[in-house]
């Protein structure tokens, strides 16, 4: 019964540690989210910059698996090259060693001081100010990390007093078996942080020798690749290659250090350099990843070539409009671990959605102008993709909104729901216009030359409106709001004018009743399309601060 209670205590301590680590990483990501997005957007082909980014991001989000999964998502979405991903994965392996270094601090007499931060953070969270509350979560989670470590350490001390457990632990000395234990346990729990902390805590309780811990650490580094391998299921070939390179990196490093550990007294060197076994294991973990990165960074090109050789291309090629029908081009489920980056990818899908909606609008107006359905198949393909984006982007945004995000990010996210709906409605009105064309072709009805000229003028005004809207939307700039409103008003005026012209043509028998009925619906749809484009621009008011001249104009109105 005592052993069972100790196991439960150990699991409880591990749970507190992992939950605290997750809370800290989520809140740190919330604080640094926009900076992370900027860093990833600016990543270049410089391999050392990639390593630095991978190290920094992993230190913030406290998980090399999460970073690697995120990188697989970027590669899968086609916004990061395989070479860039390789350098970031290498950096992620260095960044993850911070968890072991935190665990090693339990051997120092300052652990109780760090544990007390849990209380400090709890009091800070009582504050109503969002910023203080957020930092309270971070500080409190740091304290909880050390509370979890202390609970685990106390439980391990009970195990260390058991002759049976001590005998079992001392009987396992085969290096290959030790490596496999580290690999299998990490693969099962899918958390190298958990297995590393358990290993360090066991060593601190004299249940594990440094020599054995070295081989288990090598297995842990291979086992951590399992999460990324699972994440690559269903990914594009490049996404799978990124996951394969992660596995390759850790396998090569583990093989090199396995041989070195057999022929060199690595444990003796570490013992001579550091007094506490917890620190020795943490430093070996860091040494392994830093050394492996130094060894392999000159061979990034060869690693990517090998990955391409092993995993062949099967990806469907984008069509002439730049997308694969009914598939995301930028969004990826793997990016949900970093909501601000996921949201940036949603924005790219929205921009693509806008261009597709506009292209279908152009196609529909052209088709009705020349009474031709020649472009109907391509139009239908784009319409299917618009419907797909409307449904799936909305679902994806719901998932992003469930993650911890700042209020500013939440406002931006909320606006995207409206924008997606507006763009889908543009597609629906374009579909209406194509249906009018079908009726006109079927009944051999045409518009007069005067009507076609008027249609071209109204279409030109909407084109101009679209250009202003999308320029502002891309740049998150509200300074052209006044110009945008004037153009939209001119479209409204065109509708009134064209309605009057139509009545005159009917009176003068220049237009058939059938064509007249379609004309009225057509002009009405065009005016509504302009309204939806205007809505896209105005959606920025949720999260973009308007310039002074716009504020003054609004106040005056």
Q: Report how far residue 227's alpha carbon sits from residue 210's, in angstroms, rounded to the nearest whole number.
A: 27
The Cα 12–Cα 14 span in angstroms is 5
The pLDDT score that the predictor gives to residue 554 is: 47
Q: Which two three-digit tokens encode residue 56?
A: 């920094």
Given a contact cutoff of 8 angstroms between Cβ atoms, the answer to whether 220 and 251 are in contact is: no
Does the pLDDT of residue 220 top 80, yes or no? yes
Residues whose CB is less than 8 angstroms from the CB of residue 67 and which lie 6 or more positions away in sequence, other chains included: 54, 57, 58, 61, 88, 89, 92, 95, 96
Rounded-to-integer distance, Cα 120 and Cα 140, Å: 6
Give the pLDDT band (50/70/90) at residue 16.
Answer: confident
Task: Give residue-wise pLDDT tens across range 253-270.
Answer: 999 999 999 999 999 999
pLDDT score for 404: 75
Q: What is the pLDDT at residue 31?
A: 63
pLDDT tens digits, residue range 163-187?
Answer: 666 566 667 778 999 999 889 888 8
Please choose, from the candidates 310, 91, 266, 237, the residue with its C-alpha nearest in 3D space to the C-alpha of residue 175. 266
Give the pLDDT confidence score for residue 557 in this predicted structure.
46
Q: Which residues contact 361 (CB under 8 A, 6 or more apart)?
A: 426, 429, 430, 433, 462, 529
pLDDT at 360 over 80: yes
For residues 16-35, give the mean pLDDT.
70
Calculate the CA 217 to chain-centre distance: 29
The predicted model scores a pTM of 0.67
Q: How far is CA 179 from the centre of its chain?
A: 33
Q: What is the Cα–Cα distance from 426 to 361, expressed in whole angstroms?
A: 7
Which tens digits make up the pLDDT trace of 504-522? Answer: 776 666 667 777 788 889 9
238 pLDDT higher than 60: yes
**Tens digit of each residue's pLDDT (9 = 90 or more) over 32-70:** 555 665 666 556 567 788 888 888 777 766 666 667 777
Return the minimum-mean-pLDDT range out of 235-249, 314-328, 431-445, 446-460: 314-328
Separation CA 405–CA 62 (nearest Å): 17
- The H or E element containing residue 386 is helix 376-401
Secondary structure of residue 1 in the 3-state scheme: coil
Which residue's structure tokens are 């230190």?
59
Instruction: For the chain, give the number of residues.
Output: 557
Mean pLDDT of the chain: 83
Q: What is the mean pLDDT of residues 479-500?
A: 92
User: CA–CA separation, 476 vs 543, rounded Å?
Assistant: 9
CB 67 within 8 A of CB 61: yes
Question: Which residue intervals of 326-375 are DSSP H helices?
Answer: 339-370
Burial 327-365 (b: 16+ CB within 10 A, else e): ebbbbbbbbbbbbbbbbbbbbebbebbbbbbbbbbbbbb
pLDDT in tens, 70-129: 777 777 766 677 888 888 888 888 887 887 787 777 666 666 777 888 898 888 888 777
pLDDT on residue 501: 80
Cα(133)–Cα(146) distance, integer angstroms: 20
User: What's the average model confidence in pLDDT over 3-26?
Assistant: 78
Rounded CA separation 500/494 (Å): 10
Residues of the chain with pLDDT > 70, as a percent, come to 85
């Amino acid at each position: 019964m005592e052993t069972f209670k100790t196991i439960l205590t150990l699991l409880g301590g591990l749970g507190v540690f992992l939950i605290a680590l997750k809370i800290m990483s989520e809140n740190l990501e919330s604080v640094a989210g926009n900076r992370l997005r900027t860093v990833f957007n600016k990543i270049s082909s410089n391999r050392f910059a990639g390593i630095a980014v991978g190290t920094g991001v992993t230190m913030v989000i406290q998980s090399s698996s999460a970073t690697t999964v995120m990188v697989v998502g970027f590669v899968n979405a086609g916004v990061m090259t395989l070479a860039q991903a390789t350098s970031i994965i290498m950096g992620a392996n260095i960044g993850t060693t911070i968890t072991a270094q935190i665990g090693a601090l339990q051997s120092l007499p300052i652990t109780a001081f760090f544990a007390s931060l849990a209380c400090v953070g709890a009091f800070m969270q009582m504050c109503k100010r969002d910023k203080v509350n957020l930092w309270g979560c971070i500080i409190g989670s740091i304290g909880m990390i050390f509370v979890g470590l202390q609970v685990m350490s106390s439980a391990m001390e009970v195990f260390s007093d058991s002759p049976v457990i001590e005998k079992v632990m001392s009987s396992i000395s085969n290096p290959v078996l030790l490596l496999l234990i580290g690999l299998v346990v990490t693969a099962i729990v899918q958390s190298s942080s958990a297995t590393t902390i358990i290993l360090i805590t066991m060593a601190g309780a004299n249940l594990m020798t440094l020599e054995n811990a070295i081989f288990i650490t090598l297995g842990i580094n291979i086992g951590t690749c399992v999460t990324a391998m699972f994440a690559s299921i269903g990914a594009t070939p490049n996404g799978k290659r990124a996951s394969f390179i992660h596995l390759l990196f850790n396998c090569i490093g583990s093989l090199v250090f396995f041989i070195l550990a057999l022929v060199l007294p690595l444990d003796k060197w570490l013992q001579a350099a550091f007094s506490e076994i917890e620190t020795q294991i943490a430093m070996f973990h860091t040494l392994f990843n830093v050394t492996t990165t130094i060894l392999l960074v000159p061979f990034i090109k060869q690693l990517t070539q090998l990955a391409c050789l092993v995993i062949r291309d099967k990806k469907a090629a984008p069509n002439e409009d730049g997308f694969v029908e009914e598939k995301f081009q930028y969004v990826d489920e793997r990016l949900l671990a970093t909501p601000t980056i996921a949201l940036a990818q949603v924005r790219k899908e929205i921009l693509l959605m806008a261009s597709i909606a506009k292209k279908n609008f152009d196609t529909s107006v052209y088709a009705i102008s020349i009474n031709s359905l020649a472009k109907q198949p391509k139009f239908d393909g784009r319409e299917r993709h618009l419907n797909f984006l409307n449904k799936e982007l909305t679902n994806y945004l719901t998932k992003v909104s469930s993650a911890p995000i700042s209020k500013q990010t939440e406002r931006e996210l909320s606006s995207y729901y409206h924008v997606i709906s507006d763009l889908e409605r543009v597609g629906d009105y374009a579909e209406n216009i194509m249906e009018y064309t079908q009726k006109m072709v079927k009944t051999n009805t045409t518009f007069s030359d005067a009507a076609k000229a008027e249609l071209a003028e109204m279409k030109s005004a909407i084109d101009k409106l679209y250009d202003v809207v999308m320029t502002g939307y891309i740049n998150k700039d509200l300074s052209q709001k006044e110009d945008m409103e004037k153009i939209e008003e001119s479209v409204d005026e065109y509708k009134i004018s064209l309605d009057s012209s139509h009545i005159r043509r009917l009176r003068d028998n220049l237009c058939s009743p059938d064509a007249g009925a379609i004309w009225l619906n057509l002009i009405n749809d065009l005016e509504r399309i302009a309204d939806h484009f205007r809505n896209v621009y105005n959606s920025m008011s949720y999260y973009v601060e308007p310039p002074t001249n716009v504020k003054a104009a609004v106040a005056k109105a």
